[in-house]
Amino acid sequence: MFRSAVAVLLAVSGASSMAQMSPVGLWRTISDKDGVAQSEVRIVDTAGVVSGKVEKITDPKAKPGEKCVECKDERKDQPILGMEILRGLKKVDGKDVWEGGTVVEPATGTVYRAKVTPIDGGAKLEFRAYVGAPLFGRTATWIRIQ
């Protein structure tokens, strides 16, 4: 009986730690330029495709009700709060890496290719935004909130 309970406990704890090696969750975005917390983004997985929306804006320089005036797609002039900024990422087979999607930078309207990798046991998310090849871009580290 005791061994069964231990086996179940180990299986459950192993499954929860594996779930953390996913980008799914709520993340505090940190600027790679000045280290300021900018927002909270909720990342979800829908049928194997990852996307993310801004749930809260925390940047002290942000204006209430700010819109993406520089966006060039259907997000143009839409509020940044609630905006889907991350789209179309898929898990790379056999790796804890999601890529193939895009991220929009609301301040400039620029759409970058995106690659995300959970690090530190899933407590952080290495977020790479780039044009062309990943070599030509920048990396930010997001912090898991939940």
Per-residue pLDDT band at 134 (split at 50, 70, 90): confident
Q: List pLDDT tens digits, range 82-132.
A: 999 999 999 999 999 999 999 999 989 999 999 999 999 999 999 999 998
Give 115-122 contacts, CB < 8 A, sequence gap 24+. Answer: 115/89, 116/23, 116/50, 116/89, 118/20, 118/21, 118/22, 118/23, 121/17, 121/20, 121/21, 122/17, 122/19, 122/20, 122/21, 122/22
**What is the C-alpha separation between 51 and 65, in angstroms, rounded?**
22
Report pTM.
0.83
Reading the block at residue 28, the tokens are 């505090």
Q: List pLDDT tens digits, range 73-88.
A: 999 999 999 999 999 9
**What is the C-alpha separation between 54 and 81, in angstroms, rounded?**
5
What pLDDT score does 69 carry? Answer: 96
Q: Could you confirm whether domain 2-144 is CATH 3.50.50.60? A: no
Compute the mean pLDDT over every residue in the chain, rounded to the nearest whole number: 87
Q: List pLDDT tens digits, range 16-69.
A: 444 469 999 999 999 888 889 999 999 999 999 999 999 999 999 999 999 999
CB–CB of 138/30 below 8 Å? no
What pLDDT score does 33 carry? Answer: 83
What pLDDT score does 78 carry? Answer: 97
**What is the C-alpha separation between 29 and 129, in angstroms, rounded?**
13
What pLDDT score does 16 carry? Answer: 41
* 88 C-beta neighbours (distance < 10 Å), count: 15
